[in-house]
Chain A
């Protein structure tokens, strides 16, 4: 158990809809990272927050947004969903402000299916 909690584990929705994925980092970790994992693209970095502030941005679509709250949990909002958004979404946390040594602790992911 990595200590990172993600909800929901599975989500099925329709095109055009909006969903919110939630992540609670390991106790004491200030950084939260969001990744998208699909079969053809592998693990793609979306965005990172550190202590409530956006720290780094990857290949995140404009339809997606995220935030980190004062209690350090984070939410990833996906809107105007398309079939191609179907993927596993992982949250990871670390104590560092950046990738540092690369040790990220991943949650078990939220599987999104867009029909």
Chain B
């Protein structure tokens, strides 16, 4: 079993839809959680960072962490074609280790 599991998709939604992206993990020592966005032919870029359970909101994006269930989510409201990308979850438990999910490919259709 991988430490971080993420459904690779692909996921296709119409413009304006609410998108839910999820990851599960097995290592209860993970303390900080991130979502990276990767556009085609580009490197990943940090989208959201959270350190604890609960919700964090940034514009149309909300990151949710449930440590008891070892489950994290990223919600995108009013999705736009420009949100079409691969979304990777990442998590770490010390200063020298961070694990990425495989990424979910999202397409938002106009």
Q: Do A100 and B95 have beta carbons less than 8 Å apart?
A: yes
Min CB–CB distance A32 → chain B (angstroms): 13
Q: Do B42 and A102 have beta carbons less than 8 Å apart?
A: no
Q: Do B96 and A102 have beta carbons less than 8 Å apart?
A: no
A101-115 CB contacts (< 8 Å) to partner B: 101-109
Q: Do A106 and B45 have beta carbons less than 8 Å apart?
A: yes
Interface string of A26-58 (1 = CB under 8 A from B): 000000000000000111110010000001100
Interface string of B93-110 (1 = CB under 8 A from A): 011111111110000000
Q: Do A42 and B100 have beta carbons less than 8 Å apart?
A: yes
Residue in contact with B96 in the complex, picked from A42, A55, A104, A109, CB distance below 8 Å: A55
With known contacts A42-B102, A42-B103, A43-B103, A99–B43 Cβ distance under 8 A:
no
Categorize the interface residue count of chain A: 20 to 34
Chain B residues with CB below 8 A from A43, complex form? 44, 88, 100, 102-103
A95 interface residue (CB < 8 Å to B):
no
Give the number of chain B interface residues (Cβ < 8 Å).
23
Q: Do B46 and A56 have beta carbons less than 8 Å apart?
A: no
Q: Do B97 and A104 have beta carbons less than 8 Å apart?
A: no
B65 interface residue (CB < 8 Å to A):
no
| Chain A residue at smallest Cβ distance from B4 | A42
With known contacts A42-B101, A101-B32, A2–B96 Cβ distance under 8 A:
no
Within the assembled complex, what's the spacing in Å between the Cα atoms of A102 and B6? 18
B15-58 CB contacts (< 8 Å) to partner A: 32, 34, 41-46, 49
Chain B residues with CB below 8 A from A97, complex form? 95
Interface string of B64-108 (1 = CB under 8 A from A): 000000000000000000000000101010111111111100000
Q: Do A56 and B103 have beta carbons less than 8 Å apart?
A: no
| Chain B residue at smallest Cβ distance from A100 | B95
Q: Do A99 and B96 have beta carbons less than 8 Å apart?
A: yes
A66 interface residue (CB < 8 Å to B):
no
List 9 extra interface pairs beyond A2-B43, A102-B32, A103-B46, CB under 8 A: A2-B45, A42-B103, A43-B44, A98-B96, A99-B94, A100-B95, A102-B46, A105-B45, A109-B43
